[in-house]
Amino acid sequence: MVNIYYDLLDLQHDKNYTIFLSISVDGGKSYNILSQGLTGDIGEKIAPGEGKHIIWNTGVVFDSLFCTDLRFRLAVMNTDSITLQSKTGLFYIDRNSRGYEEYKNDKDGSILIKIPAGEFRMGTPAGEGEIDEHPQHKVYLNEYYIGKYEVTNEQFEQFINATGYATDAEKKGRGILIEGDKWVEKEGVNWRYYNSTEREKHPVVLVSWNDTQAYCVWARLQLPTEAEWEKAARGMDGREYPWGNDWNAAKCISKETDTDFIISKKGYVDMGESKSTLPVGSYSNGTSVYGCYDLAGNAWEWCNDWYGGYYTSGLYQNPKGPLLGDHRVLRGGSFYSVSWTCRSAFRIWSEPSFQRPLYGFRVSLSK
């Protein structure tokens, strides 16, 4: 499936329009009008407005489609009086080694994995885990997409350069460093401090929940809900860690990971006695059942939900957490975590404006 978003800005007094979609698979040298596999805001009598959405089922036209320079054109019949503002879309790449479809977001370059619809068990059985992981309960999620990797410094810098956005730490004028095993707040520290020519592929850190929201608006994506994040990490069989039920310090970056292995990875930056993030995707042996990397360790990942002490939303289908709250949820552990806190059901929380050199995020997209 390819998702295409656009705004239809009216200059002819609420007139309806006919919208055509053309595709080029040769980098724009030639275009052909698509007529099959299209649903949504396409065809005749399309009213003006923002947030128009076209879904193209590529399988109706192509048995397979792989293109490194796929381009679209939106055209309008019999008028030059409106403007079509193209938004982002997801473009099919291929199936990954786990057999799940992967798509590329044309705005920020994120690779997203399509997670099939279905039911899974969220939380931890009674008598195990932490109190806020109870009660374990069944949840049904519609099909959705989630980032294969955490968002990197390189991607975040692209967003900053495009928008001029200032993060909460930049506005505050100071941020947190880890010196040895101590937290130290210093002037001038923000996400840029953790970005360099050797760290462009590391997950961006020292970003607040507010910062992630600004990024997602720009990229036309979302943060995953807690349920979406947990399903991507645990799969349908409720595994304790993304790779299975047994802890293995060689399958993610954490406080318990062997230092010799860490410093052998390109891009490692010594942060004193404590460890550091690593380039995203460093642990091919630690992926989830769907093929997502770094769902344990590396950086804590912001979720969209407000934090609730218990799973109290009561919703079986597509839960989005409490309606209100003071703190947002983070999942997955970091390079500074121990095995217990890298479990896929483990939860922490933080104020939306708060940042740490442990806090990062990955993107998602749900229908």
Instruction: Single out the residue of 218, 254, 211 nearest to residue 352, CA to CA.
Output: 211
**Which residue has better confidence, 268 or 26?**
26
Candidate ranges 18-22, 94-98, 267-271, 287-291; pick with highest mean pLDDT: 287-291
Residue 27, C-beta contacts closer than 8 angstroms, at least 6 positions apart: 69, 71
Q: Looking at residues 181-197, what average pLDDT do you find?
A: 88
Q: Is the pLDDT of residue 8 over 80?
A: no
- Give pLDDT tens digits for 196-230: 878 999 999 999 999 999 999 999 899 999 999 99
Q: Mean pLDDT lowest for which of 8-22, 26-40, 270-284? A: 8-22
Q: What is the CA radius of gyration of the chain?
A: 22
Domains in the chain (CATH in brackets) are 2-95 (no CATH), 101-366 (3.90.1580.10)
Q: Taking residues 285-299, what's their average pLDDT?
A: 97
- Return the structure tokens found at 148: 């294969």
Structure confidence at residue 23 (pLDDT):
77
Gap between the Cα atoms of 136 and 138, Å rounded? 7
Q: Which pLDDT score is estimated for 166? A: 95
Going 120 to 232 to 86 to 211, the CA torsion angle's sign is: positive
Contact (Cβ atoms closer than 8 angstroms) between residue 141 and residue 115: yes
Amino acid at 16: N
| pLDDT computed for residue 104 by the predictor | 93
pLDDT of residue 153: 97
Q: Residue 80: which H helix or E strand, with range?
A: none
- Tens digits of residue pLDDT in 311-331: 666 688 999 888 889 999 999
pLDDT, residue 99, reads 95
Question: Is residue 45 exposed (0-12), middle (13-18) or buried (19+ Cβ within 10 Å)?
Answer: exposed
Does residue 249 register a pLDDT over 50?
yes
Lowest-confidence pick of 67-81, 121-135, 174-188, 227-241: 67-81
Taking 70 as the threshold, does the pLDDT of residue 83 lie above it? no
| 78 pLDDT more than 50 | no
**For residues 225 and 361, what is the distance between their CA atoms, to the nearest angstrom?**
12
Model confidence at 340: pLDDT above 70: yes
Among 287, 290, 234, 247, which residue's Cα sits nearest to residue 122?
Answer: 234
Residue 148 has pLDDT above 50, yes or no: yes
